[in-house]
Amino acid sequence: AYPPCTPSSSYHRLTHISLFLPPAFQKASSTIYKKEGEQVEFSFPLTFGEEDLDGELRWQAERASSSKSWITFSLKNKKVSVQGVTQDPKLHMGEMLPLRVTLPQALPRYAGSGNLTLVLAQGKLHQEVKLVVMRVTQLQNNLTCEVLGPTSPELILSLKQENQEAKVSKKEKAVWVLDPEAGMWQCLLSDVDQVLLESKEEVSPSRFPQVQPMLPVGLGGFAGLLSIGFGIIYCVRHRRSQTERKSQIKRLLSEKKTCQCPHQFQKTHNLI
């Protein structure tokens, strides 16, 4: 028979230590990847739930020079109360734990990083969170995909037609294709073989008309304008020549009326 198991002094010390672990966040800082227009939820689970606290989430957009306060709140008796909130964006915060802040739409101007600060009786806690937003745009004959927000320089951004090889793939924050073919296109943000974010965009046949078929039309229009121009010049010159000819005829007729013939000069001389 085995001897009875009795807790050792080290076990009691470990239990005692675990009961008095300092308050903290359950997870480290995280990056959230979203397509433009999607809803975003920032979640901050804690290792404790009995303590009262005050908190603030400050946000700095990627293109902003400084951060601004998005929301301030307090936690008392496990219930969250919002103290102040910005008007842009329109944020919502849950009343119960875990701490959750919802952003209705992921827009490019919100891409950036935030810092959540909690003030407790024992001190302060800080948690960083990042938001990366993907945007796909069609402009004239250009299809562009870009990501905004803090990203690793090792991430690869690619643009391709569905079920085909990538047309362009770079370690950049923006890629584009000129004169894309009609069909479904995919923009992918990848970390090695892991796809972090994907967005699809439908390109219609009439969205990007081909340049080559338009060339003869343009040349034909140009030739037509030249023909019209030459016709106008010809008409002006023709009318000018007619006017000059009429003027010459009038001048000759006028000279004929005032002309004194030689036989008249002879008669006058004989009379004298």
CATH 3.20.20.10 fits 23-133, yes or no: no
pLDDT band of residue 253 (cuts 50, 70, 90) is low
Contact 120, 51 (CB under 8 A): yes
Higher pLDDT, 247 or 96: 96
**Residue pLDDT, tens place only, 178-199:** 999 999 999 999 998 899 999 9
In the chain, CATH 2.60.40.10 sits at 23-133, 134-203
Query: Is residue 248 over pLDDT 80?
Result: no
- Residue 118 to residue 75: CA distance in whole angstroms: 10
Per-residue pLDDT band at 172 (split at 50, 70, 90): very high
In this predicted model, what pLDDT tens digit does every residue of 198-224 receive, in sequence order? 999 999 887 555 544 444 444 455 555
pLDDT of residue 63: 86
Is pLDDT at 3 greater than 90 in this prediction? no
What's the pLDDT score for residue 180?
93
User: 134-203 has which CATH code?
Assistant: 2.60.40.10
Beta 99-103 vs 92-93: how paired, if at all? antiparallel
Per-residue 3-state assignment (H helix, E strand, C coil) for the chain = CCCCCCCCHHHHHHHHHHCCCCCCECCCCEEEEEECCCCEEEEECECCCCCCEEEEEEEEECCCCCCEEEEEEEEECCEEEEEEECCCCCCEECCCCCEEEEECCCCHHHCEEEEEEEECCCCEEEEEEEEEEEEEEEECCEEEEEEECCCCCCCEEEEEECCCCEEEEECCCEEEEECCCCEEEEEEEEECCEEEEEEEEEECCCCCCCCCCHHHHHHHHHHHHHHHHHHHHHHHHHHHHHHHHHHHHHHHHHHHHCCCCHHHHHHHHHHC
Q: What is the mean pLDDT of the chain?
A: 82
Report the C-alpha gap between 113 and 132 in whole angstroms: 9
Q: What is the DSSP letter of 229?
A: H
Q: Can you tell me the mean pLDDT for 13-36?
A: 77
Q: Give SS3 for 7.
A: coil
The tens digit of pLDDT for each residue in 222-237 reads: 555 666 665 666 555 6
Question: Which residues, including other chains, have CB under 8 Å from residue 143's CB and lie 6 or more apart?
Answer: 136, 137, 159, 176, 177, 180, 185, 201, 203, 208
pLDDT value of residue 50: 81
Residue 146, pLDDT > 70, answer yes
| Nearest Cα to Cα of residue 119 among 73, 53, 70 | 53
Residue 256 banded pLDDT, cuts 50, 70, 90: low
